[in-house]
Structure 1
Amino acid sequence: MNVRTLRLVFALTSCLFAHVVVAQTNRPQAGNATMQTLGLWTSTAGGRPAAAPYVRIAQLDVDPRHLEEFTAALQEIASTSMREEPGVFTLYAVSLKENPHRFQVFEMYKDEAAYNAHRETAHFQKFFETTRKMVTSRTFLDVDPVVLGAKAYWEHSDH
């Protein structure tokens, strides 16, 4: 694993993501926007180990000729998984600026059973079959969560 990948893994696991462990609170922002604070998860709670979510990071290299098609499939699987699977907590996908055909996908599940159930769903099977020939390389990193924290922010329409 190269230094760039290690830095990305560190950044993803230490800064960007959260397991909801406290009540969600909505905070009004300027205009129509609302910020929802999700919470902070740490590997210890009150001096005891906390139940850890199951986290994986996937690195996918995609044939550059299929980037648009792959991105559409990725958006569909993420949207469907978040909407239909209560054990799927987080799915974040980013592409590297200097290498836009390389994707890093941060996945967080309630537990390993939820991850395994996700892989058996019809929408995951569709994604896998649809993208099988687009993806030229797959690398999966098994990681242990240490600290996970995030704020969700999105714009709301007045209409």
Structure 2
Amino acid sequence: MAAFYNFASVAAIIAATIIAEESPTSKETKMIALIVEINIKSGFKDQFMASMLGDAKGSNNDEPGCLRFDVLQDNEDENKIHLFEVYEDEAAVDAHRNAPHFVKWREECADWFATENIRKIATPVYPVPEKWEKRPPVD
């Protein structure tokens, strides 16, 4: 039951800070939030996570337009990972997709995805875009 509350808490935080891309406010704000659900093939979790953390660190530490890159372990399924990413704008998302650490991650993990990734695009609402700051580098 605690696992449900932890995941529900994360979901509530995410829901409180974003709205779906179809929202009328999405045209007023250029920031982009991505919520990604990844299902990993059984037996590949350790390799996947090593590569995923390399991409996360590269995104956070080396991409000026990446304001947040969180890797979240699903509490009910050990082979499910959630990503919460926030970028300054579409150009920052494009820079991320072309960054060496992202390209390396996609190539390394290509055969480890159990399903197609589920990707949602959203617009940060709170805190307001002007209050977001770049997260400092993390080891």
Equivalent residue for 1:113?
A: 91
CA shift for structure 1 position 121:
1.3
Candidates 117, 121, 126, aligned match of 1:147: 126
What is the SS of the residue equivalent to 2:81? Answer: strand
Q: Is the 8 A contact 1:13 1:145 kept in 2?
A: no
For 2:91, the aligned partner's letter is A
Equivalent residue for 1:23?
A: none
**How large is the Cα RMSD of the aligned pairs?**
2.4
CA shift for structure 1 position 125:
0.5
Q: Is the 8 A contact 1:63 1:134 kept in 2?
A: yes
CA shift for structure 1 position 50:
7.0
CA shift for structure 1 position 12:
2.1
Candidates 7, 11, 14, aligned match of 1:12: 14
CA shift for structure 1 position 9:
4.5
Q: How does 1:1-159 map to 2 (within 5 A)?
A: 9-14=11-16, 51-137=29-115, 138-148=117-127
Equivalent-residue separation in structure 1 for 2:110 and 2:34 (angstroms):
19
Aligned length, in residue pairs: 113
For 1:97, the aligned partner's letter is N
Unpaired stretches in structure 1, ≥5 consecutive residues: 1-6, 16-42, 44-48, 153-159
Equivalent-residue separation in structure 2 for 1:52 and 1:116 (angstroms):
13
TM-score (norm 2): 0.71
Percent identity over the alignment? Answer: 22
How big is each residue's C-alpha offset from its partner over 1:9-61, in whole Å with a ceiling of 9 and x where there is no partner? 4432426xxxxxxxxxxxxxxxxxxxxxxxxxxx7xxxxx9744211111100
CA shift for structure 1 position 64:
2.1
TM-score (norm 1): 0.63
For 2:70, the aligned partner's letter is Y
The structure with more strand, counted as a fraction of residues: 1
- Structure having the higher Rg: 1
The structure with more helix, counted as a fraction of residues: 2
CA shift for structure 1 position 144:
2.2
Equivalent-residue separation in structure 2 for 1:58 and 1:107 (angstroms):
8
